[in-house]
Amino acid sequence: MRLILLGPPGAGKGTQAQFLIEKFGIPQLSTGDMLRAAIAAQTALGLEVKDIIARGDLVPDEVVVGIISDRLDEADCSNGFILDGFPRTTAQAEALEELLKDKGIALDAVVEMQADADTLVGRILARAAESGGAREDDNEEVLRNRLDVYQELTAPLVDFYSKKGLVKTVDGMAGIEEVTTSILAALAA
């Protein structure tokens, strides 16, 4: 199963990815996690992207595409993967399409998790409070910027992938188990 999870920040993509990992036995490729790990390890890449992420802006496409390309070559991706946080723009989707074509890989589905922006801000601020502000980008100003960036740059991917017949839309505002059930039903359809 080769999936992309789409949805605004805080929609629950990471949570749902964990259920899908268990269900299908495939890895989650979270560009956000990969970039945060690079920052924590203070790699050259991590130092390069730290300020970009702290502002809530997007990391340059060539950096993210390179990370994804390398990750797809690892053995645990041979039976599939879940892309979470990538692609975020039409240009990235086109680059991913070329990358997958070059590797002889086809996507099975794009799961769109729809969610209300104001509710998401509340969710993320609650997450920040629970974690003691572990993520630098979990504050309302940066969050609102991330939501605006999502609407402007990432939301158009729903149309991009709909034209390819890949989009499965679920209500990301439902309870966790209900969202999981909806995703599994959509993938089975």
Which of these is catalytic: 2, 13, 36, 123?
13
Which of these is catalytic: 2, 36, 88, 123?
88
Which of these is catalytic: 23, 55, 101, 135?
135
Contacts of 80 (CB under 8 A, 6+ apart): 1, 2, 3, 24, 26, 108
**Does the annotation count 36 as an active-site position?**
no
DSSP state of 161: H
**Does the annotation count 146 as an active-site position?**
yes
Angstrom distance (rounded) from CA 116 to CA 183: 18
Angstrom distance (rounded) from CA 132 to CA 127: 8
- Helices (H), ranges, 25-174: 31-40, 44-55, 61-72, 90-103, 117-131, 140-149, 156-162
Nearest residue to 9 (alpha-carbon basis) of 127, 108, 95: 127
Which of these is catalytic: 2, 36, 123, 146?
146
**Does the annotation count 127 as an active-site position?**
yes
**Does the annotation count 135 as an active-site position?**
yes
Residues catalogued as catalytic: 13, 88, 127, 135, 146
